[in-house]
Amino acid sequence: MGENTKDPKLADLEQRLSAARKKAEPEPENTTGKGSAMGVAFKMGIELVAGVAVGVLIGLTLDKWLATPPVFLFVFLIMGFAAGLRNVIREARKMQDQDADPVSQEHGKD
């Protein structure tokens, strides 16, 4: 028997399987839509909290090391908040610039 001849039922089964596989494959996600904006929002929040946390840790460490009242805690808390806010504003400006220039966003330029 020749192996080159295929049973028509087998060929039909292969066609149906390939069609089913195409339907089952997930569509590529839209990275420029809602998910991307949510990721940037989480990033901004984390940057703000991280700035404050680093400031508090530095302030507490200095106050403990120098045996002072919580003077450095307050100073570095404010500095950490300012640094986190600066990062958030910088990221927001970058997003605003990308929205204003859709040509550079399409071509992957910053």
Domain span at residue 46 reads: 34-107
Do residues 59 and 78 make contact, with C-beta atoms less than 8 angstroms apart?
Answer: no
- Does residue 3 sit within a domain? no
Does this model's pTM top 0.85? My answer is no
Q: Count CB neighbours of 44 within 10 A.
A: 18
Question: Inter-axis angle of helices 71-100 and 34-66, to 10 degrees?
Answer: 160
Residue 69 lies inside a defined structural domain of this protein: yes
Residue 95, domain member (yes or no): yes
- How far apart (Å, rounded) are the C-alpha atoms in residues 57 and 50? 10
Please tell me the total count of domains within the chain.
1
In a domain, 15, yes or no: no
- In-domain check, residue 80: yes
User: For every one of its 110 residues, what pLDDT tens digit does the chain have, with 9 covering 90 and above?
Assistant: 445 667 888 888 888 888 888 888 776 665 555 668 788 889 999 999 999 999 999 999 999 999 999 999 999 999 999 999 999 999 889 888 887 776 554 555 54
